[in-house]
Amino acid sequence: MTISEKKVYPRTGDNQTVYLKNVVTDPSIAVGEYTMYNDFVNDPKDFQKNNVLYHYPINHDKLMIGKFCSIACGAKFLFTSANHTLKSLSTYPFPLFFEEWDLDKATVTDAWDNKGNIVIGNDVWIGYEAVIMSGVTIGDGAIIGAHAVVSKDVPPYTIVGGIPAKPIRKRFSDEVVSSLLEIKWWEWSDERIRENISAIQSGNIRDLK
């Protein structure tokens, strides 16, 4: 058992930050170890209610978040049901109100276009009040700027920002990114990570052991 599996609050006296894996109960939300969420407005334990929106079982879509991610206050994950279908001649969601319009209840999902799962890699930093849309995959080590609206996939170790979010720059050279994706330090044991924290923080991949 890792340290993160033993506690909800990583820091003594700080009830605004939680290990997300230990407060999420929805089986369609998977969170890796040590991923943390900070909320100074609402109770961070209510993440799945306040931050994972339009996430209904009828769509069978999932939110998957990797290990060692940092999610800032107010970040939102908007799922398929937030969308209105673009195939219709009208943006009005008639199938959603099947009783009113004598429609088959089974067609309710025709009201929106199903974009699929949201997949967040490992060691991803999601900034204050950023919005991640359904169907998006964010690669390992990426950074999402504050208030960004992410509607397209983000490559590993890329910084994005804006509305809609666009690449700003890569965090490291292609060579270093390839090495990090091969090393996958987030899969190491707690002991090995602890031994390498100074090396990780140094920013020099050659210091890892």
Q: How many distinct helices (H) and strands (E) make up the chain?
A: 3, 15
Catalytic residues: 84
Strand, helix or coil for residue 97: helix
| CA–CA gap between residue 53 and residue 180 (Å, rounded) | 32
3-state secondary structure the chain: CCHHHCCCCCCCCCCCEEEHHHCCCCCCEEECCCCEEECCCCCHHHHHHHCEECCCHHHCCCEEECCCCEECCCCEEECHHHCCCCCCCCCCCHHHHCCCCCCCHHHHHHHCCCCCCEEECCCCEECCCCEEECCCEECCCCEECCCCEECCCECCCEEEECCCCEEEEECCCHHHHHHHHHHCHHHCCHHHHHHHHHHHHHCCHHHCC
